[in-house]
Amino acid sequence: MVDLDAYIAAHKFGLGARFDETINIGASPQAWLQAQLTDVSSTLEEYNLPSSQAGIELFYHYLETQRAENAADQPIAAASVNVKQQMGGFFQSYERMTAEQVLYEDLGVRGSNIANATNVYLKKSQNNISLPASNKTSQELAEDIFAMYYAEIGVRTVHAILTPASFREALVRFWSDHFSVYSQKSLQLLVTAGAMEREAIRPNVTGKFVDLLIAAETHPAMLMYLDNWISIGPNSYAGQNFGYGLNENLAREIMELHTLGVNGGYEQEDIVSFAKAITGWTIGNPNIQPEQLGNFIFEPLFHEPGSVNVMNKEYLGTGQDQGLEILADFASNAATAGFIAGKLARHFHSDNPPQSLIDRLELAFISSGGDLGVVSATLVTSPEMWDGTFAKLRNSEEFVIATLRAFGVDTLTPGQLVFVFDAVGQVPFGYHAPDGWPKEESSWASSSISSAKINYSELLASFVAGQPEPSTMATNILGSMLSASSADGISNAVNVEQGYTLMMMSPEFQRR
């Protein structure tokens, strides 16, 4: 008989038990969890997915190809050495890009077209694909863009299904959602949202919070999602010559959602000052620093000169460092520690976690100088996590991954996975707003999602062959979490498929 703690480790910390996993976790579940904080790499390098830089290069290639195909359209202006012309070219290109950019949904990835989405990309990427050949049509390049996006979802999902270190993977998802970006905002986001998780989030989930923060805020996906790449200091060279101005989006969301929290003790003036400090944080593009195409750059000609005052502290006009210093101060602010601690507790414990758990995590954050390895280890040793309550309703993606882990299903194509995630209302990188997916039970306990989950469960159950019979399966996956009434229901099922479905739909599987 495996101890309840092994099931807690697998389900409440991890992404759900794989068959026989709790036997391997055995008598020391805390050691099993702690090892995942130090010994494991989860950067997915082995899949050779394209970088965000390569994605942006592909996007511009697509754009230029599309314009070239349009015979009636203006030819692309030759590169200029004149700074003013370069800047003008940037703003014109941005305006035009926005006006021309076709909708994600109109490029054919929704509904029945999902079945046609290219699944070969995943295989190609595993064989280290090269960038698209330049003789492709814009339609072919658009397909490559979607294939990149599908590959990101396919790889992160298959990894989540197979990994023996699913606590670490749960941390990746927590932090990725904390720095949520919306892939469907534009094609640039489509080619960078998944890469951001690999490049900015994964390497930092057990490192210092400030490093994670800087990696996320300087990532091209974030800079484009919250518009900072076109935020221009009013007194900068570009501001004075081209009439573009400040965009506060990123500054506001960094303070409200990524660090201090909405009651973090700042005012609107602080947002504006911080927004000025991070002007010039942009992306190399065909007009601005083209040799850095697709990389984060600091562009001095966009940057608001001079010092700024943020939350009663003066920051000198030091260029890029000005914003970095402010970010570092946000990271070490006590409000940030409290905000992060509460969010972690609500994610891993329940919608209404014990205050003692929040306090313990907050203290760990502060005393370790924001070391997320220490904070995560504290979560592992917190008695509240082992109190035997399972109040947190799995969200739709967590539910699907838990089912695929339980049955060991790793053969779904990216297109099929997106189809399933869409059906249950949660396609990865698909939440439109920067606050990330809803966290509370009320958003996931809807009839439409409940119905989608039971339909999905029955479908999955009908295609898993050669598995142990349902009662054995339920005991193996849920162990002493399983209630007598659920065990009864499962053993009284009319057939194997119904038994599996009841296991997946049981309250003990729905919650963690």
Interaction with other proteins in 35-94: which residues (CB under 8 A)?
70-73
Angle between helices 166-178 and 138-162 (to 10 degrees): 130
Q: Tell me how far, at minimum, the Cβ of 471 lies from other proteins, in Å.
A: 14
Residues 475 and 458: their CA atoms lie apart, in Å, by 19
Please report, as residue ranges, which positions from 185 to 224 form the binding site for other proteins (by CB under 8 A).
185-186
Residue 126 engages other proteins in binding (rule: CB under 8 A): no
- Return the residues of window 101-120 that contact other proteins according to CB under 8 A: 101-103, 105-106, 110, 112, 115
State which of residues 27, 41, 459, 472 lies at the interface with other proteins (CB under 8 A). 459
**Residue (289 or 416) nearer to other proteins, CB:** 416
Q: Which of 295, 467, 475, 480 binds other proteins (CB under 8 A)?
A: 467
Q: Is 211 helix (H, G, I), strand (E, B) or coil?
A: helix
Instruction: Tell me how far, at minimum, the Cβ of 352 lies from other proteins, in Å.
Output: 14
Residue 464 touching other proteins (CB under 8 A): yes
Contact stretch for other proteins (CB under 8 A) within 29-37, 54-62, 259-267, 465-473: 465-473
**Residue placing its CB nearer to other proteins in the complex, 115 or 334:** 115
Draw the binding track, 373-402, toward other proteins (x: CB under 8 A; -: no contact): --------------------x---------
Measured from the CB atom, the residue of 112 and 127 that comes closer to other proteins is: 112
Q: Report if residue 458 touches other proteins, rule: CB under 8 A.
A: yes
Residues 226-255 binding other proteins (CB under 8 A) are 249, 253
Q: Looking at 309, 352, 451, 472, which residue binds other proteins (CB under 8 A)?
A: 451
Judged by CB under 8 A, how many residues of this single chain contact other proteins?
77
CB of 279 to other proteins, least distance (A): 18
CA distances to 222, 260, 313 from 91, rounded to whole Å, are 19, 33, 33
Minimum gap (Å) between residue 365 Cβ and other proteins = 26
Nearest C-alpha neighbor of 181 from the set 141, 152, 157: 152
Say whether residue 23 binds other proteins (CB under 8 A): no
Taking the C-alpha atoms of residue 317 and residue 461, their distance in angstroms, rounded to an integer, is 61
Q: Which residues pair with 246 in a beta bridge?
A: none
Contacts of other proteins in 252-271 (CB under 8 A)? 253
The verdict on 460 binding other proteins (CB under 8 A) reads yes
Applying the rule CB under 8 A, the residues between 474 and 493 that interact with other proteins are: 483, 485-486, 489, 492-493
511 phi/psi in degrees, rounded to 5: -110, 165
**Which pair of structure tokens corresponds to residue 371?**
């070391």
The distance of closest approach from Cβ of residue 430 to other proteins in the complex, given in angstroms and rounded to an integer, is: 8
Count Cβ neighbours within 10 Å for each residue of 363-377 and write b for 16 or more, e otherwise. Answer: ebbbebebbbbbbbb
**Please, which residue, 387 or 422, has the CB nearer to other proteins?**
422
Question: CB under 8 A: which stretch of 8-16, 145-153, 371-379, 444-452 binds other proteins?
Answer: 444-452
Looking at beta carbons only, is 149 or 209 nearer to other proteins? 149
Per-position x/- string for 418-437, each x denoting binding to other proteins as judged by CB under 8 A, each - no binding: -x--xx-x----x-xxxx--
Residues 244 and 199: beta-carbon distance below 8 Å? no
Tokens read off for 43: 């950067």
Q: Which of 352, 442, 472, 491 binds other proteins (CB under 8 A)?
A: 442
For the chain, the straight-line distance linking the first and the last C-alpha, in angstroms and rounded, comes to 20
CA distance linking residue 221 with residue 509, whole number of Å: 34
Give 257 or 358: the residue with its C-beta nearer to other proteins.
Answer: 257
Using CA atoms, how far apart are residues 34 and 13, in angstroms rounded to an integer?
11
Helix, strand, coil shares of the chain, percent, nearest 5, are 60, 5, 35
Strand-pairing partners, residue 393, are 511
Q: Which of residues 398-417 bind other proteins (CB under 8 A)?
A: 407-412, 416
Q: Check binding of 457 to other proteins (CB under 8 A).
A: yes
Q: Is 31 in the site for other proteins (CB under 8 A)?
A: no
Assign 47 to helix, strand or coil.
helix
Q: Cα(436)–Cα(181) distance, rounded to whole angstroms?
A: 8
Tokens, residue 334: 């006590």
CB 310 within 8 A of CB 332: no
Residue 410 tokens, joined: 């790793």
Q: Using CB under 8 A, which of the segments 41-49, 55-63, 100-108, 273-281 binds other proteins?
A: 100-108
CA–CA gap between residue 411 and residue 14 (Å, rounded):
21
The minimum distance between CB 140 and other proteins, in angstroms, equals 16
Nearer to other proteins, 116 or 318 (CB): 116
Q: How many CB atoms lie within 10 A of CB 100?
A: 12
> Any bridge partners for residue 382, and if so which?
none
Whole-angstrom CA distances from 363 to 206, 327, 386 are: 17, 20, 19
Asked if residue 449 binds other proteins (CB under 8 A), the reply is: yes
17 versus 372: smaller Cβ distance to other proteins: 17
Q: Would you say 37 and 168 are in contact if contact means Cβ atoms under 8 Å apart?
A: yes
Nearest in space to 42 (alpha carbons), one of 69, 70, 20, 14? 14
The distance of closest approach from Cβ of residue 70 to other proteins in the complex, given in angstroms and rounded to an integer, is 6
In the complex with other proteins, the residue whose CB is nearer, 313 or 432, is 432
133 binds other proteins (CB under 8 A): no
Least CB distance from residue 119 to other proteins, whole Å? 13
Nearest partner of 311 among 338, 279, 271, 278, judged by Cα? 271
Contact (CB, 8 A) for 176 and 193: no
